Amino acid sequence: MKVQRLFLESLDTPTGKMRIVTDEEGRLRALDWESHDERMRRLLQRHLGTNDFELVEPKRPSKARRSLEAYFKGKLEAVEELKTATGGTDFQRAVWKALRRIPAGETISYGELAKRIGKPKAMRAVGLANGANPIAIVVPCHRVIGADATLTGYGGGLDRKRWLLAHERAHTGAGSAAQPELAL
């Protein structure tokens, strides 16, 4: 069996060091904080369906890395068009696709996300799919909050979720009348 070659980069961000994994076609395969490296590797194994991959340093920064640098500098749209490749079930991919349609600076509830994919009673399954997302920020699972506007689970931690939402709102002007204040 051929070992799949993936590229691993690190990026210092205001929320900690990130790990970025892309493939030979430049598609983003995984993204997580260095402090969650083991979680990212487990998700990679699950989504690739194999342990037969190697992580190597790229010769030059990937488009994903450059886009994430721009995102953290306030150019939020920089990550919107990134090509991604994940495994996951059809249901998970439907949730992740719907997540990418939530505009920066806005939030929705798990229930609303379930409605948007045509499964209004699947709130818990949507939550599980959200938690299995291997590509934080680009597939913006941080934009999903509790029905009462409370911040709920986030693989990177609630402090990072809070920071990401505040960062997006600061650069979009969202949050005043359009969005409820987040209950902390």
Per residue of the chain (184 residues), what is the pLDDT tens digit? 677 889 999 999 999 999 999 999 999 998 988 877 787 787 777 777 767 788 889 999 999 999 999 999 999 999 998 999 988 899 999 999 999 999 999 999 999 999 999 999 999 999 999 988 889 999 999 999 988 888 887 878 889 999 999 999 999 876 543 444 454 4
8 Å CB contact between 105 and 171: yes
The pTM for the full model equals: 0.87
8 Å CB contact between 110 and 147: yes
CATH topology match: 4-79 vs 90-172: no
8 Å CB contact between 26 and 63: yes
Instruction: Please report, for the chain, the start and end positions of each structural domain, with discontinuous segments joined by +.
Output: 4-79, 90-172
pLDDT at position 176, please? 45
CA-CA distance, 30 to 112, in Å (whole number)? 26
pLDDT at position 174, please? 63
141 is catalytic: yes
Annotated catalytic residue within 108, 141, 164, 165: 141
Please, is 14 exposed, middle or buried when counting C-beta atoms within 10 Å of its C-beta (0-12, 13-18, 19+)? exposed
Looking up tokens 């488009």, which residue turns up? 63
pLDDT at position 180, please? 45
8 Å CB contact between 129 and 98: no
The CATH number, out of the four listed (1.10.3470, 1.10.10, 3.30.160, 2.60.40), of the domain defined by the range 4-79: 3.30.160
Tokens, residue 2: 């051929």
pLDDT at position 175, please? 55
CA-CA distance, 63 to 70, in Å (whole number)? 11
pLDDT at position 3, please? 78
CA distances from 139 to 14, 75, 170, 181 (A): 19, 16, 19, 22
pLDDT at position 59, please? 92
The CATH number, out of the four listed (1.20.120.80, 1.10.8.60, 3.40.50.2300, 1.10.10.10), of the domain defined by the range 90-172: 1.10.10.10
